[in-house]
Amino acid sequence: MRKLRMGLRRWAPLTISVLLCAIAQGCGRMEWNWDLAWWKEPKRVVPPSKPDSTRHNTEPTHHTENRAAPLDAPPEQGPSPADQLVNARKEARPFYQLYLVSETDGKPVERGERVQKLKHVGARTCALALESLCVPLGRSSNTTECYLIYEDRNEFEAALALAPLLDVPVNTAPGSGAGGDPFSSGVGAYYAVIEKGPIVERSLIEAADKRLAEAVQSPHLSTVQRWTASILAARLMMDYKYDYPAARSYCMQAERLCTAGTLELFTAWYWRAEALNQEGNTTEAAGLRRRIDETYGPTVTRSQLIQRGKSERPAVKTP
C-alpha cells in the first residue's frame, strides 16, 4: 500500500501534463505571444533625408522676419495724415467733390473732399459761375454751402484752381463803369445778373455785358482771367440776352487764348457748339461735336462735356 502511494506521487505530475496536452489538442491550436516589449511607447519612424546636390552650394539662410529690433533703433515712420489724404486724392475714384462755403461762423469746416472758403461771394452764386467753366455732374443749391460733383479728375483739378479766382464781390452797380479791376468788375456784374433769378432788367444785362467785354480785352489781365471772362460773357448772351451770334463770338475769343488739347479749349468748343445748336444751326453744331469727340473722346471719356454731347447728339436713323 505504501509502495502504491509512492508510485502515484511519482507519476502524478506526468499524468497531469499528458491530460493538459490532450485537452489543448482537442480545443484547437493556440499561439501565445510571449513578446515582453508590447508595453513600450511606440516611436515615430523618421525616414532618412535624401541628399541634395545644391545644398553644398547655397549659403545659409538668415531668418530675420521675427528678429526683434534693437532698443536704440528709431521707429519706422509711415506717411503722415496729410500725405495719406493727398495720396488718396491722387487715386482714381468714381467721383470728386468740391465744397464751396461762404459762411462758417468761425467754425472749422470738415468735409471728405476739398473745401474752398469764400469771403466775398455766396457759395451758390460762385457755383453757378464755376459750373459754366468746369461743367460738373451735379451741384447742390444751398446759398451758403454748395458742392459740385465731378467724374473727371482733370475737370475737378481745374475747378479747384478757378474757385479762388471767382471769389470777388457782387458788383451791385455795374452801370457805373469798370472801376479798378476789370476782372472783378466783370465777374461781379455777372453775379449781379444771376442773383436776380429768371427775371432780370435789360439794363443790368447790358451793363454786365460791357464789364465782361472790358475784362476780355484788358491787356493787364492774365490769360486765365480773360478766358474766364469770355466764357461767362458767352453764357450771359445765351441764357439772358439770347444773342447766339454774340455768344459764339465770345467763345471764339476764348479759343484764341487756349493752346491745343487743353481743357479750356475743350470747354470753349463745347459752348460754341451749344450756341450753334440753340441758334438752329444743327449741322455746324454736329460737325464741331464730332471734332470734340475725335480730339478729346479717347482721353477724357469721363468728362461731363463728352457725356452731354453724346446725349444731345441726334440719333442716327437706320433704313
**Domain boundary residue, one of 116, 131, 166:** 166
User: Does residue 242 carry a pLDDT above 90?
Assistant: yes
Distance, CA of 127 to CA of 94 (rounded, Å): 21
Residues 139 and 183 in one domain: no
Instruction: Classify residue 303: in a domain, yes or no.
Output: yes
> For residue 2, what is the enclosing H or E element?
helix 2-27
- The percentage of residues in the chain with a pLDDT greater than 70, rounded to a whole number, is 62
- SS3 per residue for 14-73: HHHHHHHHHHHHHHCCCCCCCCCCCCCCCCCCCCCCCCCCCHHHCCCCCCCCCCCCCCCC
Distance, CA of 235 to CA of 131 (rounded, Å): 11
The amino acid occupying position 303 is: S
- The residue range of the domain holding 254 is 174-309
Distance, CA of 44 to CA of 46 (rounded, Å): 6
pLDDT in the model for residue 181:
86
Domains in the chain: how many in total? 2
Number of H helices and number of E strands within the chain? 11, 4
Instruction: Classify residue 262: in a domain, yes or no.
Output: yes
pLDDT in the model for residue 54:
47
Cβ distance 212 to 232 under 8 Å?
A: yes
CA distances from 149 to 14, 119, 134, 139, 254 (A): 114, 22, 11, 6, 25
Distance, CA of 177 to CA of 245 (rounded, Å): 25
Instruction: Output the nine-digit C-alpha cell for 200.
Output: 432780370
User: Does residue 79 carry a pLDDT above 70?
Assistant: no
**Domain boundary residue, one of 103, 134, 166:** 166
Q: What's the pLDDT band for 313 if we cut at 50, 70, 90?
A: low
Residues 106 and 222 in one domain: no
Q: What is the pLDDT averaged over residues 141-162? A: 91
Residues 115 and 158 in one domain: yes
Residues 222 and 116 in one domain: no
Residues 269 and 287 in one domain: yes
Q: Phi and psi for 6 in degrees, rounded to 5?
A: -65, -35
User: Does residue 3 carry a pLDDT above 80?
Assistant: no
Residues 125 and 188 in one domain: no
How many CB atoms are located within 10 Å of the residue 185 CB? 25
Cβ distance 225 to 183 under 8 Å?
A: yes
The amino acid occupying position 71 is: L
Residues 275 and 247 in one domain: yes
Residues 133 and 242 in one domain: no
Residues 135 and 247 in one domain: no
By mean pLDDT, which of 46-55, 68-77, 169-178 is the weakest?
68-77
**Domain boundary residue, one of 137, 166, 195:** 166
Residues 161 and 179 in one domain: no
Instruction: Classify residue 30: in a domain, yes or no.
Output: no
Residues 136 and 185 in one domain: no
The amino acid occupying position 279 is: E
Nearest by Cα to 228 from 163, 293, 288: 163
Cβ distance 156 to 194 under 8 Å?
A: no
Instruction: Classify residue 113: in a domain, yes or no.
Output: yes
Residues 156 and 183 in one domain: no
Instruction: Classify residue 53: in a domain, yes or no.
Output: no
CATH number at residue 184: 1.25.40.10
Distance, CA of 293 to CA of 306 (rounded, Å): 7
pLDDT in the model for residue 38:
41
Instruction: Classify residue 95: in a domain, yes or no.
Output: yes
Instruction: Classify residue 43: in a domain, yes or no.
Output: no
User: Does residue 70 carry a pLDDT above 70?
Assistant: no
User: Does residue 204 carry a pLDDT above 60?
Assistant: yes
Instruction: Classify residue 211: in a domain, yes or no.
Output: yes
Nearest by Cα to 145 from 103, 202, 87, 86: 103
